[in-house]
């Protein structure tokens, strides 16, 4: 099966498209989606039935290196009144979370090879500060969650018997599964369905993961590599 990384080795892999989701709900805003790419006819690109309106902006510093953590910068024209108003009302959008998904344009909705499961590992950044803001543009500096003051690793709570991946859910209106579009998504996309108690079912609408290691084994099989999000190797500690 072709993967984004395998597609890069092809003679004509296509152009890479970056899709951004700015989640400002934790600071009193909303969720904003945008991309610096558009379709040939000028319409917004869509991926996984989610639309990413075109927004003119410049970006830099997303690349990771072995020497230091990235601190990307986004420079957006102030004519975009939505983000400008958000920056003013929240004193710089500080604390908002930015997700970036990258994929090839041929995998976007509406294209011959459309496939919403084909994308590179997503990135997550936090808006740290406003570098400049005037009538012409807003410049934001981002940091990784690991670069935040007083952040300690691991920042995730380690649980032995609970998987933290976001499992798919069946949407009866769409007649299919809806998959999380972040790096926390469970990768299972099989056609074997089980309830949260491990009971096999024929209907996809009854599919629900119990978040135990045994649920992962049911879906992938005994002796197979499991993408389990818990930490089964942790020893129990009694007082």
Q: 14-18, 141-145, 234-238: which range is least confident on average?
A: 234-238
Judging by beta carbons within 10 Å of its beta carbon (0-12, 13-18, 19+), is residue 156 exposed, middle or buried? Answer: exposed
Confidence check: pLDDT of 1 > 80: no
Same domain as 126, residue 91: yes
Report d(CA 220, CA 232) in Å as an integer: 17
Assess if residue 123 is contained within a domain.
yes
Where in the sequence is the domain holding 220, given as residue range(s)?
Answer: 156-230
Contact indicator for 45, 35 with CB cutoff of 8 Å: yes
Cis amide bond preceding 105, omega within 30 = no
- Residue-level pLDDT at 87: 78
Assess if residue 7 is contained within a domain.
no
Question: Strand, coil or helix: what is 53?
Answer: coil
Assess if residue 96 is contained within a domain.
yes
The pairing of beta strand 97-104 with beta strand 50-52: unpaired
How confident is the model over 147-163, as a mean pLDDT? Answer: 57
Encode pLDDT of 24-82 as tens digits: 888 888 888 999 999 999 999 999 899 999 988 888 888 876 667 788 898 887 666 67
Assess if residue 221 is contained within a domain.
yes
- Residue-level pLDDT at 88: 75
Assess if residue 4 is contained within a domain.
no
The pairing of beta strand 45-47 with beta strand 31-35: unpaired
Same domain as 191, residue 89: no
Same domain as 22, residue 138: yes
Same domain as 187, residue 110: no
**Average pLDDT value for the chain:** 81
Domain count along the chain = 2
What distances in angstroms separate CA 163 from CA 60, 123, 167, 196, 210, one per listed residue?
35, 21, 10, 13, 9
Domain end among 129, 147, 165: 147
Domain end among 112, 147, 182: 147
For the chain, percent of residues with pLDDT exceeding 70: 81
How confident is the model over 118-124, as a mean pLDDT? Answer: 84
Assess if residue 178 is contained within a domain.
yes
Domain end among 104, 119, 147: 147
Same domain as 135, residue 101: yes
Task: Pick left, alpha or beta for residue 42 (phi over 0 → left; psi -120 to 50 → alpha; otherwise beta).
Answer: left
Same domain as 84, residue 160: no
Compare 86 and 221 and report the one with higher pLDDT. Answer: 221
Assess if residue 236 is contained within a domain.
no
Encode pLDDT of 80-110 as tens digits: 667 777 877 776 788 888 899 999 999 999 9
**Of the candidates 101, 98, 88, 122, the residue with the CA atom closest to the CA atom of residue 45:** 101
**Of the candidates 39, 40, 62, 64, the residue with the CA atom closest to the CA atom of residue 51:** 39
Q: 77-81, 127-131, 175-179, 219-223: which range is least confident on average?
A: 77-81
Confidence check: pLDDT of 234 > 70: no
């Amino acid at each position: 099966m072709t993967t984004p990384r395998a597609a890069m080795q092809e003679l004509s892999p296509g152009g890479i498209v970056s899709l951004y989701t700015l989640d400002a709900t934790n600071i009193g805003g909303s969720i904003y989606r945008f991309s610096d790419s558009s379709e040939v006819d000028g319409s917004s690109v869509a991926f996984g039935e989610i639309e990413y309106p075109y927004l003119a902006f410049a970006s830099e510093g997303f690349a990771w290196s072995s020497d230091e953590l990235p601190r990307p910068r986004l420079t957006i024209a102030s004519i975009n009144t939505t983000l400008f108003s958000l920056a003013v009302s929240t004193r710089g959008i500080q604390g908002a979370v930015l997700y970036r998904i990258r994929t090839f344009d041929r995998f976007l909705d509406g294209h011959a090879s459309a496939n919403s499961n084909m994308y590179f590992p997503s990135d997550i950044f936090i808006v740290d500060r406003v570098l400049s803001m005037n009538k012409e543009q807003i410049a934001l500096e981002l940091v990784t969650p690991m670069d935040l003051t007083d952040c300690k690793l691991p920042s995730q709570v380690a649980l032995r018997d609970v998987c933290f991946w976001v499992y798919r859910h069946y949407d009866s209106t769409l007649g299919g599964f809806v998959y999380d579009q972040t790096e926390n998504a469970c990768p299972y996309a099989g056609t074997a369905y089980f309830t949260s108690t491990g009971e096999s079912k024929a209907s996809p609408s009854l599919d629900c993961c119990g978040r135990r290691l045994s649920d992962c084994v049911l879906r992938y099989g005994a002796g197979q590599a499991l993408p389990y999000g818990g930490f089964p190797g942790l020893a129990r500690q009694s007082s």
